[in-house]
A and B are shown apart, each in its own frame.
Chain A
Amino acid sequence: MSDERKAEQPKRPPGVCVPWQEKLKELPEIKGDRELVQRVWEDVDALGYVYIWHCLLSF
């Protein structure tokens, strides 16, 4: 891998469209199970990721 790429972290990592940290800033205080909210957000967000990458690769 070229040196400049090694130093960089992807802006939007694999499996992610809208990162949890970005969504978290938009939410009111989470009074219940925060991990549950994060997990479900990330699981469903990954479907959006799968959709666009399969548009590219499979269709």
Chain B
Amino acid sequence: MAQDMEQLYQERMKRYTTAMRNGKPDKVPIRPFVAEFTAKYAGYTCQEVTHDYQKAFDAACKCAADFDWDAVVGNMVYVWTGLTEAQGTQYYAVPGIGLDADVGFQYKEPSEERAYMQPEDYDALIDDPTGFLYNVWLPRVSADVAPLGSPATFRNNLAFVKGGMAMMQYFSGFGEQAARLRKESGTVSAIAGILKAPFDILADKLRGFIGLTMDLWERPKKVLAACEALMPHLTWVALSGADPDKNVPISIWMHRGCVPFISPAQFDRLYWATLKPIIEEIISRGHQVLFYAEGNWRPHLKAFAELPPGSIICHVDQDDIFAVHEVLGHRFCLSGGIPNFLLSYGTPDQVREHCRKVIDGVARDGGYICDASAIMQDDTSIENMRAMTDFVREYGVY
């Protein structure tokens, strides 16, 4: 049995990596990014998989064992709120604490006036990003961490010990989870390593999107300098978590550079100018990058096409996947393109019909990985997930 699972794992790894290199494998790989869907399928609440990561791991393994998927993420819910609560993180609404137990966790972006980084903080961030995070940002986002210069407290001291040890425990758990998926269901862990664009992280966790939008007009040089200051650190962190075997890609979660959040000129001058060198550095080390491009990126596809063939996998969310294929299909593997609303509210026949169109239009020569457009939460229909999986497995044979 164990040998069969290992054989299955090797078959799936070959299928997945062949498609990611824009080649034609034996079948269309299936790599669904299932988050709270796993809770729904395994009989857990959102609270259970968000606050107890072992249950999230169990739920992912159950789905991987029951569906014929080639690759999954060990825990796509990902944010373990046990850790964030342990260090007093204030920007999450946590299921079961303030939210109903059956609601997914939420990020609470503060108002412009209460942004975790204020306009006058740019120079400190630019001068010393790591120091800024420890000395300024963390005390602002945590209810327990004391601001620099104020008396240390018991809760302050505990926040670092508990936060650090919890993070170590959780990340170690991902290694064990990857081994478990391989052993129990022959499933590949889909990604390794995390990257965000400098502009995105500035918008998400530092200035907030509204504040950053104002900065684009009021202090654009500071925005550029801040993005540049973040570049080497984001590169380092991405590479530190990458797959040493270079099979599976580093994932980048992209959102604020899409249409219509910033103008094409801002994309070129800020977003892409400070992201492309990071991608090129990662590529030069032999890793692929999964562009998990949330939203509409069609106006920017030509920029993506500047990257070497086979260097990225472009995930398609809101764009027309057939149009994306026309621009990028000759260079890169695509994934996604199965609308979430169809998987949640369509019929199984509608799901099968859409999958057939995507396979016919995009996957004919390989270079396509089946997935929903966006990460699947608990509104995704189990029946439709089964329809997508079974149809693609049967119809997607080369």
Contacts and interface: CB of A to CB of B under 8 A. Distances in A.
B79 A59 contact: yes
Q: How large is the interface on B (under 10, 10 to 19, 20 to 34, 35 or more residues)?
A: 35 or more
Contacts of A52: 130, 133-134, 138
Contacts, number: 76
Contact of B130 (A5, A53, A54, A59): A53
Q: How large is the interface on A (under 10, 10 to 19, 20 to 34, 35 or more residues)?
A: 20 to 34
A54 to B, nearest CB: 6
B346 interface: no
Contacts of A58: 78-79, 194
B201 A55 contact: no
B167 A51 contact: yes
Interface in A4-59: 4-5, 10-17, 47-59
Given A50-B237, A53-B133, A58-B78, A11 B225 contact: no
- 9 closest A-B pairs (Cβ-Cβ)? A14-B236, A11-B128, A5-B228, A52-B133, A12-B130, A14-B232, A53-B237, A14-B233, A51-B164
Given A17-B130, A59-B79, A59-B84, A54 B224 contact: no
Nearest to A46: B240
B163 A51 contact: yes
A13 to B, nearest CB: 7
- Among A10, A51, A56, max chain B CB count under 10 A is at A56
Interface of B: 78-80, 83-84, 87, 89, 127-131, 133-134, 137-138, 163-164, 167-168, 171, 194, 196, 201, 205, 221, 224-225, 228-229, 232-237, 240, 277
A49 B233 CA distance: 10
Contacts of A49: 130
Contacts of A57: 194, 196, 201, 234, 237
Given A2-B221, A49-B130, A59-B167, 7 more contacts: A5-B228, A14-B235, A48-B164, A50-B237, A52-B134, A55-B87, A55-B89
Contacts of A5: 225, 228-229
Contacts of B240: 15, 50
A57 B197 CA distance: 10
Contacts of B168: 47
A52 B63 CA distance: 32
10 contacts: A12-B131, A14-B235, A14-B237, A16-B130, A47-B164, A51-B163, A53-B133, A56-B133, A58-B79, A59-B89
